[in-house]
Amino acid sequence: MADEKRLSARRKHTLKGCMLMVGTNLLEAEASMKIEEREKFLAEKCPPLELPYSKDELMELVEKLHQQINMSEEERYCIEFKLNMVLNEVRDLNIKIVDMRGKFKRPRLKKVRMSADAMLKALLGSKHTVNMDLRANLKQVKKEVKEEAIDAGDWRKNVEDKADRKKMFETT
C-alpha cells in the first residue's frame, strides 16, 4: 500500500510545474491590482490640471494647490509622528523583553575596604568634617568582678570545701 501512495518523479515534477504556474498567475494578478489601486488613488487625489487663461483664475488655482499641499504635509507629519511613536514603543518593549530574559551579565564588583570616614569624604568631598568614631558612641559597661570567681582559682581550697560537704552527708 505504501508503494501505491508514492508519487513518481514525473508526477512530482508536473505537480511542481502546475504549482509554479498558479503562483506566477496569482503574483501577476496581485501586481495588476496594486497598479489599479494606485491609479484610482492618484485620480482621486490629483485630478487632471486645467490651466485657466486669466490671471485671477490662475491665482485661485495656485491658492487651492497651496492649500492641498498644506493638507498633505499635515497628514504626512501626523503619520510620521505616529510612526515614530510606534517605533519608540516597539523599541521600549524589546528592551523590556531583553531585561526580562536577563540577557545582560551583571559585572562583578570589586570589594573595596573603606572606612566610614573615607566613604563620607568621598561622597561629600573635602567639606566633610564629622568624625565617625563609632566606638566612642558605645556605652561603657563596667563588669563587677565576683569574689567566687577569684576564689575558684585556688583549687586546694575548692577541694577542701567539697571534702567538708562529703563529711556532712556521711555523718547522718
**pTM score, two decimals?**
0.35
Cα distances (angstroms) measured from residue 116 to each of 120, 126, 132, 133, 136 = 6, 14, 7, 9, 14
**C-alpha cell recorded at residue 117:** 570616614
pLDDT tens series, the chain, 172 aa: 455 678 888 999 999 999 999 999 999 999 999 999 999 988 888 877 778 788 898 899 899 989 999 999 999 999 999 999 999 999 999 988 888 877 567 778 888 787 777 777 777 776 656 665 666 666 677 666 555 555 556 666 666 667 666 666 665 5
